[in-house]
A and B are shown apart, each in its own frame.
Chain A
Amino acid sequence: MISLEGVSARRKPASIKNVTVEWGPGVHAVIGTFSDGCALLLAVIVGAAKVQGGRIRVLDGAPTDARARPQIARVGFDPSLPDGLRVDEALALASVLRGDSPRAAPERLSVLGLEALARRPVRSLSRGEARAVALTEGLTSSRVAVLVIEEPLSSSDARTARRIVETLRDKARSGCAIVVATASLRDAGDLADDYVLMRAGTLVGQTTSVNTLASVAPDGAGLALIARDATDARRLVAALASEAEVAGVELLASVVKVRAADPVALARAVARAATQANVNVIEIRRETP
């Protein structure tokens, strides 16, 4: 379904080098940060980034083929939704363009409990709401056979996160190949059937057990950050995921475990993330790598 053979690509500041991987139906996790090239890898899969070398096949063709395009959906950090329309109109337009049979917007949105957003203008949605609508569109389209998502559980509360996990698994059972990119080992463990680890643009590990994967992560400094609650911890994870120096993030209830090669860079990244997410970190403990 998705096949990459020695694929290299570059889009500043990230790059990927010689990535070879094959995915069929199921949920697959790419673990790493933005600077490791995870988002770029997803962009390559959907044909939004130019491949410099290697070969990529999605649904037996190039991802930009007219036949493949409507069957591929991408939910990025900043999703592209039609800004001039209401949410229900945007979903109706998506149905027409993908070739889906028309369905009522509230029915589609109910999958993630978002019925209340149906009449809202897309322009008025927060980033989290826009991501949820884009995710719903991909999940509820009968035509989408490849779905790629960046940090699917960030900026969602525990109940929504559980719903997302269940719905993704249902979609995968219907034959869809879902690739999620996340910096959180915990999120990857909750979501995926198999895992690949990206470091500095290179695929450094591939396994079906998240515990095995943890062992291939490079050594360095580690911190355990204790947040006030699970919601704050998730916001912190989302902010840490965009920090270039952070090598890995793991979420355990209200505890965020974060790792980096350099301790000073790690401390700075944590401070920036806490400020950006506006989260009070109650306690910081040193973790032995």
Chain B
Amino acid sequence: MIASLGRLSAARIVRSSRLWLSLGVWCSLDLAFAVVAREHGWAHGADRVLSTAFGALSLPFIACAIARAAFGGRSMLSSTAPLVAFGAAPWRAAFASTGVATLATALVGASLAALVALVAHGTADPPPVHDAIVSAYVGGLGGAAYATWFALGTTIGRRGGGRLLLLGLDWLLGGAGTPTALATPRGHLRNLLGGASPLNLSERWSAIMLLGMMVFCTMLACRGTKRR
């Protein structure tokens, strides 16, 4: 049942030319940075490109674009209305759409992070294959957390404009060294990519926090459909 409910969001993602254009732009930007890092022989090329261009810039925008496409550029209530009209429970429809957005973002985040790690690999970075695998894990986890973060944003506003609000909040609150970064995906992703950690949290705890954030945001997003 959940798989059938996910078909709508999957089709929206696959058939959105605007999303593909957006993915093309952000992926090209990351790869361009990676190529520059390689050409200039940066010792920590992979680390630097992943923590700046990828983690701080591309991934949030990619996740926002995928969430926008998965929900058809509308609010949670309105984007799941067709499934509810065919007899699906609202929370199931919301869960399926959020799940599809999360999977798609995790996949794109993991692939792009691994590719960037390989292309930008520097002499002081860990062995390339190991670095690519770890980067894929962090990219996937960060992407998934951002997707649920924006799914929650979709429940805010008549047209789901809360996505942009949460994108702004992530930027405002997720600054390096600030305690408020604890409540944003940005703070924990930066920690996992080798940057400053929120409140000196270990990488393991940041990963756990991202997982907790995913569960919390998914639950709140599904709960938002109760109004119907």
Residues of A with Cβ closer than 8 Å to B?
47-48, 66, 69-74, 79-85, 89-90, 93-94, 96-99, 134, 137, 143
Contact = CB atoms under 8 A, between A and B. Distances in A.
9 contacts: A48-B228, A66-B89, A80-B84, A82-B83, A84-B9, A85-B7, A89-B7, A93-B8, A143-B87
B75 to A, nearest CB: 13
Given A80-B82, A83-B82, A97 B228 contact: no
B7 A93 contact: yes
A97 B83 contact: yes
A83 B72 contact: yes
Nearest to B5: A97
Contacts of A97: 1, 4-5, 83, 86-88
B4 A80 contact: no
Given A48-B228, A97-B87, A97-B88, A84 B81 contact: no
Contacts, number: 59
A89 B11 contact: yes
Most central of A79, A90, A97 by chain B CB within 10 Å: A97
A81 B11 CA distance: 13
Contacts of A74: 85
Nearest to B72: A83
Contacts of A134: 85
B12 A83 contact: yes
A134 B81 CA distance: 13
Contacts of B81: 80
Contact of B82 (A66, A82, A98): A82
A96 B12 contact: no
B15 interface: yes
Interface in B205-228: 228
B228 A69 contact: no
A84 B72 contact: yes
A83 B81 CA distance: 10
Given A48-B228, A80-B81, A93 B86 contact: yes
Contact of A81 (B9, B82, B228): B82
With most chain A CB atoms within 10 A of its CB, the pick from B5, B8, B87 is B87
B89 to A, nearest CB: 6
Contacts of A93: 4, 7-8, 83, 86
Q: Is the interface of B mostly helix, strand, loop or mixed?
A: helix
Given A84-B72, A93-B7, A96-B4, A70 B12 contact: no
Interface string B74-99: 00000001111111110000000000
Interface of B: 1, 4-5, 7-9, 11-12, 15, 72, 81-89, 228
A70 B85 contact: no
A81 B7 CA distance: 13
Given A80-B81, A80-B82, A83-B72, A72 B87 contact: yes
Nearest to A97: B86
Contacts of A99: 87
Given A80-B81, A93-B83, A134-B85, 17 more contacts: A69-B87, A70-B86, A73-B85, A79-B85, A81-B82, A82-B82, A83-B12, A83-B72, A84-B11, A84-B15, A85-B11, A89-B7, A89-B11, A97-B1, A97-B86, A97-B87, A98-B86
Contacts of A84: 8-9, 11-12, 15, 72
A69 B93 CA distance: 13
A99 to B, nearest CB: 8
A98 to B, nearest CB: 5
Contacts of A83: 12, 72, 82
B88 A82 contact: no
Contacts of A89: 7, 11
